[in-house]
Structure 1
């Protein structure tokens, strides 16, 4: 049975929430492409998260470490939108989160780790570009605070980077594959706080619609997939998303 076909019995719909930067702005984390987005305010900032520039230029790495240390992401707390997703999951509705964010706020709000697919990785850990060893971001930032502006891997001396997918890097195929599978299987696909312009993540909205899911887009600005959506919500995410998820939980 495809996602949009009539459901029988008491089976609850499988809901996929795909979140972008807009869901975290109320937590104090700026988005990237909105009217006041980071890339519009400081185009040079994009270099700090571009793999080629980061690997080639120690000064860019030093700026990136300062940005991580001074930025709001690791101090941010979940907001009412993250909490609403958790309430839906705890209501007994099957929920999977596919997120383009790297802030870990869905998990901090209470979503089980196994139900959150981080397409672009996590800013809460670091990875060695040589030996691939992973460790905590806080540990790396403590080394920066202690006077090491570009900390190297303690295991092999290689260049450390945030365990996020930088521009110029590919997505983890296992994570993307699981995201595609749940998208094809879902009954309701909610794209929230995302411009739906960054591929391949953006294409999941169309894939869900192609497989019969009800597509709902919650975003302040128009997206390329608005014509495929059965419901468009332009109101602030902090009020519109909780109301939408309450409706879904109530059946």
Structure 2
């Protein structure tokens, strides 16, 4: 762990950072794919990442869904159509929360972390025990109506399990919302798809209240999420970056914790809990 503005020992850097976090009134975490790497889920853009191998998805993916949801569902459910994406989905399905996920849940439990703006679709944040979370890119374990934004867990969709064979029995050959009749898709936000209005409003609300933003495991290249730390900094707050590598946001970070987030986050949270008198 190190701070590029401070040459003191790692332990001192950790203590200084923890004291600042403990004093903050509205701590918000902006979380990216790097947090889940230690759970065995590859990043999108990093070495070995899905898009590094296949290239980034077409920007008209959402338009394709809206234009022909039946065809989108057929391709989405066909595991043989895109083997690399199937491997990526299997990695998510088989993953378990790591110490970094549990550390954020603990930081929320002791009353310090007020909210997560989470860019991951893997659901590991909830499985670790976090509850105050905005999933700005959606959640792979859920479905969503694109009209009314109603969400369901995949295993509790009123229309039953969605499979290639079940689609043949559905009018229109794609699942429809039982509330408004709108097309239902995976909750993950596609390229070209607007972020659901309710989720985006929640993110902006917490970012505007934040006086400390923890930037964790993200390359900070995707907006609007990448703009939240800049907003906090411009409003007089401070940014803590926890990332193994330097990013475009390193230059505005007041405190930097270098190293695996499965190591740095538990150490930070333990120190914060000690400072505020919280329990393990």
Instruction: For residue 32 of structure 1, report the CA deviation from its aligned partner.
Output: 0.6
Post-superposition offset of 1:101:
1.3
Structure 2 CA distance for partners of 1:220 and 1:63, relative to 1, 3 Å: farther
Give the 3-state SS of the residue equivalent to 1:216 in structure 2: strand
| Cα distance between partner residues in 2 of 1:131 and 1:94 | 30
Q: CA deviation at 1:60?
A: 5.0
Residue of structure 2 in register with 1:248 after alignment = 272
Cα distance in 2, alignment partners of residues 160 and 18 from structure 1 = 27
Deviations 1:158-183 (A, max 9, x none): 64310122111122333223322322
Aligned residue for 1:181?
A: 205
Cα deviation code 1:146-167 (max 9, x no counterpart): 5648743374886431012211
Q: Secondary structure at the match of 2:140?
A: strand
Corresponding residue for residue 63 of structure 2: 52
Closer, same or farther: CA 244–153 of 1 in aligned 2, 3 Å: same
Task: Tell me if structure 1 keeps the 8 A contact 2:177–2:184.
Answer: no
Report what 1:153 is aligned to: 176
Candidates 18, 30, 34, aligned match of 2:30: 18
Q: Answer yes or no: is the 8 Å Cα contact 2:145–2:177 preserved in 1.
A: no
Q: Name stretches of at least 5 consecutive residues in structure 1 with no aligned partner.
A: 1-6
2:255 aligned partner: 231
Q: Residues 165, 84 of structure 1: CA spacing in aligned structure 2 closer, same or farther, 3 A cutoff?
A: same
Pick closer, same or farther for the CA change 1:234–1:94 going to 2, 3 Å.
closer
Instruction: Report SS of the residue matched to 2:241.
Output: strand
Q: Unpaired runs of 5+ in structure 2?
A: 1-18, 80-84, 276-280
1:111-162 Cα distance to aligned partner (Å, 9 max, x none): 12xx111112222221244676543323679432756487433748864310
How far is the alpha carbon of 1:90 from its aligned partner? 2.0
Query: 2:146, 2:185 within 8 Å by CA — same for their partners in 1?
Result: yes
The RMSD of aligned alpha carbons is: 3.1
Secondary structure at the aligned position of 2:139 is classed as strand
Matches within 5 A, 1:27-176: 27-43=39-55, 46-47=57-58, 50-56=61-67, 61-65=73-77, 66=79, 67=85, 71-112=90-131, 115-129=132-146, 134-138=151-155, 142-144=161-163, 148=167, 151-153=174-176, 155=178, 159-176=183-200
- Equivalent residue for 1:196? 220
For the pair shown, the structure with the greater C-alpha radius of gyration is 2
CA contact (8 A) 1:48 1:60 kept: no
Larger RCO, structure (CA 8 Å, separation 6 or more): 2
Partners of 1:237 and 1:38 in 2: CA distance: 21
Contact 1:12–1:94 at 8 Å: present in 2 too?
no
| Number of positions where the alignment pairs a residue of Structure 1 with one of Structure 2 | 240
TM-score (norm 2): 0.73
